[in-house]
Amino acid sequence: MEDLIKKILNDQIKDSLVTVDGGESKYTVQVVSDIFKDKTIIDRHKIIYAALDSYIKSGEIHALTIKSLTIDESNKV
């Protein structure tokens, strides 16, 4: 499932760097992309939730921890 989540997010969010960790329907994702520039945390999370919506609704993803950063923000971490 980790590979599938990564593929979906990479396909939906162009020019992104995605890492996924977890299992048993509980996952942590980190997405780095400039698509997040000038967006609030809530708007950033909505983009990620929308991409994974069918898997969340089916229960395949039960818990999702999200870290969403622009490229500049990720370089400061």
pTM for the full predicted model:
0.93
- The candidate with the shortest Cα–Cα distance to 19, out of 60, 69, 59, is 69
Q: What is the pLDDT of residues 29-67, one digit of tens each?
A: 999 999 999 999 999 999 999 999 999 999 999 999 999
Structural domains present in the chain: 2-76 (3.30.300.90)
d(CA 39, CA 57) in angstroms, rounded, equals: 25
